[in-house]
Each structure stands twice: as structure tokens, then as C-alpha cells.
């Protein structure tokens, strides 16, 4: 994992055909009903500010585990954790543990002009959020997002706009590489945005890896 800007990491671990395998795996399961396609929503918890803003996010998503190369991607994220010292919960040997899942995934679909995600944090680190998690029952109390990742599944030549930009330890947003098969990793408290789609379709995988609360 290459650190390209403070704690922002980048690794190119998937080929073009690998990305297509992940896209097809999700689309096939959406088609047969194994996975449910939802209107993309924001998580409404652990923050004092309301996230019930219908304009916050536009697009669709589906969630599932067991997609191709999932373990390879997870290994890269845990490597980033070791490099940066951002502590995650231990990676389990099996990913079907109902008591504890170390990561949540979303297969995201931006396919309508104007689809976007306004600037936001994936996890607040304030005192209110920390107390909120301590009060939850299992497994929710362990779902504190420490590391966020975005995996570029689409060829950037097939769409315009819809770019990930991250504001981390700087006043201006920076745009990480858009290379197909690239994995972008950053602390979940970093502000970031997906700019509006202007043409084409963009597929991406986003994930949140859980760990102990920031102290």
C-alpha cells in the first residue's frame, strides 16, 4: 500500500477482468433477487446532525459478502492499518460470522445524470458518537468505522464526473487516482465527496472497516 498524502493510501490490486467479475457478481445477484438494490442512503446514527437529507446522496447500492477477491482486498486494507497504526478489530478466518463482521460493503451504482454524494464523514469522532456506540448492543457497538475504502471498478474512460475527492489534513480537496482496479483507503473521519455524474455509469465498491473508538 502506497501512502500518497498523509494517511491516504492507494494500491492497484485488481485487473480489468477482476473488476468486471465483481460487477457481474453483484448485477447477477441483483437480477435474481439474492441481493436487493436500494436507493442509496446515509447512515442516520451516532451524530448530532440530522442526515435525513434527500439531496445528500443520489444513486443506488446493494450490500453483500463473498464477492470475488474480497479477501485480497481485505488483506490490502489490513496492511494499510499496520502501516498507519490505525487499529482495526482482528481479521477473522471466516467472514460468515453473524456475531461479528469486520467490514460492511456497498456496491454503489451511479447511473443517472446528477448522481452524487455531498461532502461528509463516514464516522464522527466526537464525544457524542463515542458514547452512542458504548450504549449499543452487539454487534452494533462494534461497528465503529475506522478505515474507509473505495474501489474503482469502472474504467474512468466510460463516465464523466462522479469523482471521489478527499479533504484530509489540508484545506483543499485532493483527487486520488481513478485507475480501474485501484483501492483508495483513508481514515473514516476524513471529509470526502463524490461529485455529480455528468455522463456514463460508474460502479464502485465502498467499505467501512471497524475498530476500537478513537481515544
pLDDT of residue 146: 93
Are the beta carbons of 106 and 207 closer than 8 angstroms?
yes
Q: 29 lies in a domain?
A: yes
The partner residues of 193 in beta bridges, in order of sequence, read 165
pLDDT of residue 124: 83
Report if residue 81 sits inside a domain: yes
pLDDT tens by residue, 85-137: 999 987 665 555 556 678 999 999 999 999 999 998 888 887 777 777 777 77
Domain of 57, CATH number, reads 2.60.120.620
Per-residue pLDDT at 46: 45
At 50 the pLDDT is 45
**Within-domain flag for 99:** yes
Residue 6's pLDDT is what?
Answer: 73
Q: What's the structural domain count of the chain? A: 1
Long-range contacts for 122-127 (Cβ within 8 Å, ≥24 apart)? 122/148, 122/188, 122/189, 122/192, 122/208, 123/46, 123/148, 123/188, 123/189, 123/208, 124/46, 124/47, 124/189, 125/189, 125/213, 125/214, 126/48
Q: Report the distance separating Cα 20 and Cα 6, nearest Å.
A: 31
Structure confidence by residue, pLDDT tens digits, 68-92: 999 999 999 999 999 999 999 876 6
In a domain, 215, yes or no: no
* Statement: the pTM of the whole predicted model exceeds 0.85: yes
What pLDDT shows up at residue 117? 92
- Residue range of the domain that includes 95: 2-210
At residue 64, the pLDDT reads 87
Query: With bands split at pLDDT 50, 70 and 90, how would you rate the model's confidence at 52?
Result: low
Amino acid at each position: 500500500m502506497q501512502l500518497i498524502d498523509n494517511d491516504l493510501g492507494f494500491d492497484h490490486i485488481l485487473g480489468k477482468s477482476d473488476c468486471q467479475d465483481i460487477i457481474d457478481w453483484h448485477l447477477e445477484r441483483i437480477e435474481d433477487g439474492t441481493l436487493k438494490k436500494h436507493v442509496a442512503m446515509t447512515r442516520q446514527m451516532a451524530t448530532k446532525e440530522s442526515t435525513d437529507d434527500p439531496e445528500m446522496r443520489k444513486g443506488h447500492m446493494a450490500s453483500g459478502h463473498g464477492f470475488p477477491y474480497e479477501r485480497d482486498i481485505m488483506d490490502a486494507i489490513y496492511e494499510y492499518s499496520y502501516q498507519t497504526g490505525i487499529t482495526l478489530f482482528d481479521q477473522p478466518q471466516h467472514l460468515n460470522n453473524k456475531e461479528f463482521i469486520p467490514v460492511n460493503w456497498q456496491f454503489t451504482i451511479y447511473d443517472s445524470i446528477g448522481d452524487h454524494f455531498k461532502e461528509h464523514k463516514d464516522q464522527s469522532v466526537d464525544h457524542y458518537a463515542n458514547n452512542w456506540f458504548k450504549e449499543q448492543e452487539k454487534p452494533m457497538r462494534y461497528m465503529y468505522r475506522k478505515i474507509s475504502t473505495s474501489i474503482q471498478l469502472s474504467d474512468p474512460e466510460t463516465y464523466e464526473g462522479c469523482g471521489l475527492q478527499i479533504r484530509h489534513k489540508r484545506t483543499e480537496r485532493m483527487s486520488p487516482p481513478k485507475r480501474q482496479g485501484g483501492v483508495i483507503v483513508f481514515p473514516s473521519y476524513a471529509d470526502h465527496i463524490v461529485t455529480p455524474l455528468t455522463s456514463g455509469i460508474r460502479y464502485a465498491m465502498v467499505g467501512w472497516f471497524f475498530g476500537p473508538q478513537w481515544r
